[in-house]
Structure 1
Amino acid sequence: MKLCNGIHQIRIDFQVTPQVKRYVYVYLIESKYCYLIDTGVAGSETILAEYMKSIGRDLSEIKGIFLTHAHPDHIGGAARLKELTGCRIYASSGEQRWIEDIDLQYQERPIPNFYQLTGNSSVQVDRVLHDGDIIQLEEQLHLEAISTSGHSQDDFSFFLQEKEAVFTGDAIPVPEDIPIYINSDKSIESLKRLAELSVPLFCPAWDQAYVGQAGRQVIERAVEFIQMLEQNMADLQQEYPGASEYTHLLCEKIGRPELKQHPLFQRTVRSHMHTQKAV
């Protein structure tokens, strides 16, 4: 779907398990050449090629892939796309080791169907990015790397300066969906940083794109949701200081019983437990 001149949102559907279906949005930046923000899961090159053909472009025109973080639904197609196009891969230093060694990622962060989602393929990062780096894609096209960690260890968002659009990966939790992050404090810091950007277009990976104030309102709701979880965790730890099933207790307390068995939401709960212990 074309969002505006030169920016396209492409949906990649995938199965986490036979019972759990998810999707992720990949963004195509179209100029003299083409650039991707994330790649989706293994096999996504077919969907991307079909979409590019529909707008009169070709997969071979992709010159760069910018990975917001290392999770399988964002890097799964990277190795194959690099093989097909010869493009360069850009990612943060903190996510590099997981991108270049998927066995290490699985060891440290196992999820169902991991190797199918990644295509059992690691990929070499050609340029390691740091907060504030500005990459000149073309003469009049610049992409700024912005550290927005919390969902993963070293997530980055990317600000396309000439188009005034920011690609946020999974940095913005969707309150109605499954909130997934490993550090609640850093997630809130990242959300506040995104909210301060004067941009008219927010492009998240697991939600629709938002224009202007609507994007800032989504960010505000996400901050409130994380703070609500944190307060409920604090209350639980006072009431049940020796409890080991905080996920179940929290899901009942906030009225979201469907999250009890979700392994990634359990990581979210643990991030709040660590915060409370630190206090």
Structure 2
Amino acid sequence: MHCLYSVMIRVDDAIYMVGSGKHGAQLSHATDCNVFVLDGGGGEYALIDAGGGVEPERIVANIQRIGIKPEQIRYLLLTHAHGDHAAGAAYFHRQYGMQVAASAEAAPWIENADREKVSLNAAIRAGVYPADYEYAPCPVTRYLAEHDEVVIGDTVLRVLDTPGHARGHIGFLIERDGRKLLFGGDSVFAGGKVVIQNIWDCSIQDYAATVAKMQQLRIDSLYPGHGIFLAEEAWKHIDQAHGYFERLEIPPNL
């Protein structure tokens, strides 16, 4: 067990990064994606993505460092069902009663821990996860679709369908003070990078359409599933990825 040294990063007003693995800031276990806490106001909080489920106590310690008790976090919003983003959901639901929300397509895969549908077996064969990696089934309280709104306190998050990296992939958009902030999961990353993998649910055509949709939104701040977050002018990085697809090329992989 890793020493539970706690650290978190405040990335915006009321948004904190409390988990990040080997492809990011390494705040928690190597298998974790970037995990964020949103303070929605009015005493309501949400966790955005759950990490890989290995040593989730490290994420808990980082949450506590903010001054928030995990029991206060009512909602867990998942961008997609891959292990590094969703395998930790069962722990947070079981330990703290968090209500899990995911896309209507991905929700049954999470509930059943469908190793084929979440591309876990392929990832284990490729050495991404160890052979004994666990992905526990987790109930999903809310099935989400494009344009749905999730209200956390005084904050409204709008759901965007963003397939490409994965089937059933969604993003969560906040508009406030004339700015657009997006929890983007594994859609687009700093430098206009993407994550295209040889798995059943990854589609280049869907990816191109998602990036085109994001490019039209002119996103100000992007909180991606891996790597560094973008506090300002995230649209410039999205433009880069869009340019590759428009030229019938593939953006660089993260």
Question: What TM-score, normalized by structure 2, do the two folds share?
Answer: 0.78
Give 2:228's aligned residue.
Answer: 208
1:190 aligns with 2:210: yes
Q: 1:48 aligns with which of 23, 38, 59?
A: 59
Give 1:98's aligned residue.
Answer: 109
Alignment of 1:148-187 (within 5 A): 148-162=162-176, 164-172=180-188, 179-180=195-196, 182-187=202-207
Identity among equivalent positions (%) equals 19
The answer (yes or no) to whether the contact 2:186–2:225 under 8 Å persists in 1 is yes
Q: 1:6 aligns with which of 5, 8, 14?
A: 14
Quick one: structure 1 residues 177 and 221, their matched pair in 2 at CA, closer, same or farther if it must change by over 3 Å?
closer
Quick one: structure 1 residues 225 and 231, their matched pair in 2 at CA, closer, same or farther if it must change by over 3 Å?
closer
Cα root mean square deviation, aligned: 2.9
Distance 1:201 1:34 in 2: 19
The answer (yes or no) to whether the contact 1:12–1:44 under 8 Å persists in 2 is no
Quick one: which amino acid aligns to residue 172 of structure 2? F
Residues 205-244 of structure 1: CA deviation (Å, up to 9, x unaligned): 112111332x11221222344566x558xxxxxxxxxxxx
Residues 112-140 of structure 1: CA deviation (Å, up to 9, x unaligned): 137755x33011111100100012222x2
Quick one: which amino acid aligns to residue 222 of structure 1? A
Quote the offset at 1:203 in angstroms: 0.8
- Structure whose alpha-carbon radius of gyration is higher: 1
The answer (yes or no) to whether the contact 1:95–1:154 under 8 Å persists in 2 is yes
The answer (yes or no) to whether the contact 1:48–1:59 under 8 Å persists in 2 is no
Quick one: which amino acid aligns to residue 206 of structure 1? H
Quote the offset at 1:175 in angstroms: 6.5
The answer (yes or no) to whether the contact 1:160–1:166 under 8 Å persists in 2 is yes
- Tell me how many residue pairs correspond in the alignment: 227
The answer (yes or no) to whether the contact 2:162–2:171 under 8 Å persists in 1 is yes
The answer (yes or no) to whether the contact 1:44–1:77 under 8 Å persists in 2 is no
Give 1:29's aligned residue.
Answer: 38
Distance 1:212 1:177 in 2: 17
Give 2:90's aligned residue.
Answer: 79
Quick one: which amino acid aligns to residue 215 of structure 2? A
Unaligned runs of 5+ in 1: 16-20, 233-253, 260-264, 266-279
Give 2:4's aligned residue.
Answer: none
Give 1:217's aligned residue.
Answer: 236
Q: Relative to total residues, which structure has the larger helix share, 1 or 2?
A: 1
Question: What TM-score, normalized by structure 1, do the two folds share?
Answer: 0.71
Choose between structure 1 and 2 for higher RCO, CA contacts under 8 A separated by at least 6 residues.
2
Q: Secondary structure at the match of 2:211?
A: helix
Distance 2:72 2:131 in 1: 28
Distance 2:93 2:214 in 1: 30
